[in-house]
Amino acid sequence: MQNIHDTVNFVRYFIGSPAASSTAHLYISALATWPKQSFISQTWIKYFPFIPSLTHIKGNIIVPLMVIQTKDWIYSVAFSHDGTRIVSGSLDKSVQVWDASTGVELYQLNGHTSRVNCVAFSHDSTHIVSGSDDTSVRVWDASTGGELHLLNGHTSDVTSVAFSHDSAYIVSGSEDLSVRVWDAPTGTELHQLKGHSGWVRSVAFSHNGTQIVSGSNDKSMRVWDALTGVELHQSKITHIITSVAFSHDGTKIVSGSYDKSI
C-alpha cells in the first residue's frame, strides 16, 4: 500500500515539475529531486545508477525543498508527527492539509468564520486542532478532513492550541485572558485556568501531560496542574511573552519575549 502511495505522489510531483515538458528520455531526471529513500528511487536506481543527487543547501544557505503557494496570509503551520502531512491556518478562514512530499493539497477544512491563528496535529497524527479569531476551537479528522468537535467557551480570539502527548487533551489560550483545557475525544471543557491579566499568547503541555505552561501579554509565564487546573508557579519578566515550551523531560521551560530575550 505504501508503494502505491509513493507512486501516486511521484506522479503528482512529476506533473508539476519542469521534467514533465522534457522529451521522453529525460523524464527520469525528475528522480534527481525525489527522496532517495522512497520506493520509486530505490527501484529505479538499479537501472539508472548515475542519476544525480541534488542537495538543497547552497553554502550556508538552506534552500527550500518546495514552496506551497496559497491564496492568503498563513498564520500557523505544523507537521504531522509521522512527517507525511503539513497543516496550515490562514487569513482566509481555512485550515488546509498538504502532502509533505509533493505539496499537493489533500483537504481544505472549512468552518471557521474568521482568521485561523493556530493549528496543531495530535501526536498520533489522527486529529488536527485549530483556533480562530471567531473565538472557537475546532477538532478535525486528519484523514478525512471532517469536523469532529466545535469547542465553544472562549469569548475572544483564540491565539494558541496544543494537544497533550497522549492526544487525550487539548489546551487553548485566548485574548479573553483565559487558558482552557478540553477533553479531546468529546470536546468537553474540563478546566478554565484564570490568573493572567493580559492576552494569553502561547500554551503548551509538558511531555508527560501533567503540566501546562502559558505565556501572556501581562509579562508572566504560569505553570498549571493539567489535571486540576491549579496554578503551580508564576514567573515575571520585563515584557510580553510570545512563546513558551517545555523540554522533553519536563524539567525546563523556554520562553520568547518582546524584550528580545529567550
pLDDT at residue 88, rounded to an integer: 97
22 or 148, which is more confident: 148
pLDDT-derived band at 41, boundaries 50, 70, 90: low
pLDDT digits (tens, 9 = 90+) for 227-262: 999 999 999 999 999 999 999 999 999 999 999 999
**Residue range 74-257, CATH number:** 2.130.10.10
What secondary structure letter does DSSP report for 41?
A: H
Cβ proximity of 37 and 6 under 8 Å: no
Percent of the chain with pLDDT over 90: 69
Q: Quick one: 32 exposed, middle or buried, by C-beta within 10 A (0-12, 13-18, 19+)?
A: middle
pLDDT at residue 109, rounded to an integer: 96
pLDDT digits (tens, 9 = 90+) for 67-98: 888 899 999 999 999 899 999 999 999 999 99
Which residues does 122 contact at the CB level (< 8 Å), separation at least 6?
Answer: 128, 129, 142, 163, 167, 184
Domain ranges of the chain: 2-62, 74-257
Which residue do the cell numbers 492576552 mark? 199
pLDDT digits (tens, 9 = 90+) for 107-121: 999 999 999 999 999
